[in-house]
């Protein structure tokens, strides 16, 4: 069974940093592109970032470019999101997800449970 | 950036009704579209990918259609457990989600 477990969320002041983690199991981790998607409570989904199977290709939403960095450790089946210079508008539930295809379809067939990031003074 | 516009933003239906949700892309995306269902407090669930392909394990009352810029998600014979918010997502370029459609069952 595929499992993704998100962690690392918390309360941080504006300008601060957090590092989110996602540990995966139940599939061949280094075959798949992985994603971060966030959701402000009560609002819609916003795609944040993606990283290729080998970690060499990354992509970001304009709203986080230059502040967030996605990475992965295929030896530990882990995905990370380093978030720097956090803003109040980054407050959201952050989900990691897995591409449905080793050929990188762009769609996610498995998701973590989410980890809540609150940016507040 | 390709923008995704969903309509309606909410819909109310009775058990057994047919519900259709529309998603429009700001430019052509061929069939690079997926639909997700999200229930309160849960992560999204993939229903449809490549515009019309049903994800494994998803009931056949869900169907998707369209290509280019206009897409639909149809729920035939809607059931109480279909009460949820539905999102489209394009994967032709930098992924983007539509704003969501909330389906309420009367």
Give A56-114 pLDDT, tens digit per residue.
999 999 999 999 999 999 999 999 999 999 999 999 999 999 999 998 889 999 999 99
Average pLDDT over residues B71-84: 97
Q: CA angle at residue A104 from A7 to A55, to 5 degrees? A: 55
Beta bridge partners of A36: A49, A96
Say yes or no for a CB contact (<8 Å) between A44 and B97.
yes
Average pLDDT over residues B33-60: 97
Say yes or no for a CB contact (<8 Å) between A45 and B43.
no
8 A C-beta contact, residue A112 and residue A37? no
Looking at residue A91, its pLDDT comes to 98
Average pLDDT over residues A17-46: 97
8 A C-beta contact, residue B6 and residue B23? yes
Rounded CA-CA distance A101/B77 in Å is: 30
Rounded CA-CA distance A68/A18 in Å is: 10
Rounded CA-CA distance B93/B74 in Å is: 25
Of B43, B92, B95, nearest to A95 by CB-CB distance is B43
Of B55, B87, B92, nearest to A109 by CB-CB distance is B55
Of B38, B91, B100, nearest to A107 by CB-CB distance is B91
Q: How confident is the model at residue B1 (pLDDT cuts 50, 70, 90)?
A: confident
Contacts for A90 with CB less than 8 Å, ≥ 6 apart? A38, A64, A83, A117, A119
A contacts of B44 (beta carbons < 8 Å): 37, 45, 95, 108, 111
Rounded CA-CA distance B4/B100 in Å is: 10
Q: What is the least distance, in Å, from the CA of A75 to any CA of chain B?
A: 26
Rounded CA-CA distance B89/B51 in Å is: 10
Buried b (16+ CB within 10 A) or exposed e, B53-78: eebeeeeeebbbebeebebbbebeeb
B contacts of A113 (beta carbons < 8 Å): 43
Rounded CA-CA distance B12/B20 in Å is: 11
Interface membership of A35 toward B (CB under 8 Å): yes
Paired tokens of B62: 């869900």
């Amino acid at each position: 069974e595929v499992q993704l477990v998100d962690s690392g969320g918390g309360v941080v002041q504006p300008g601060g940093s957090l590092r989110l983690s996602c540990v995966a199991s139940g599939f061949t981790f280094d075959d798949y592109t992985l994603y971060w998607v966030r959701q402000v409570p009560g609002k819609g989904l916003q795609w944040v970032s993606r990283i290729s199977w080998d970690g060499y290709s990354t992509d970001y939403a304009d709203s986080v470019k230059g502040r967030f960095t996605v990475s992965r450790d295929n030896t530990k089946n882990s995905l990370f999101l380093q978030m720097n210079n956090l803003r109040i508008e980054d407050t959201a539930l952050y989900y990691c997800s897995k591409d449905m295809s080793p050929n990188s379809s762009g769609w996610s067939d498995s998701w973590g449970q989410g980890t809540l990031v609150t940016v507040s003074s | 950036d390709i923008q995704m516009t969903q309509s309606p933003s909410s819909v109310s239906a009775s058990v057994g009704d047919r519900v259709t949700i529309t998603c429009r892309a700001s430019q052509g995306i061929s069939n690079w579209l997926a639909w997700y269902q999200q229930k309160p407090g849960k992560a999204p669930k993939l229903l449809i990918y490549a515009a019309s392909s049903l994800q494994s394990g998803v009931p056949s009352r869900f169907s998707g259609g369209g290509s280019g810029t206009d897409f639909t998600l149809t729920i035939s014979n809607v059931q109480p457990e279909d009460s949820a918010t539905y999102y489209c997502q394009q994967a032709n370029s930098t992924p983007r989600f539509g704003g969501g459609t909330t389906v309420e069952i009367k």
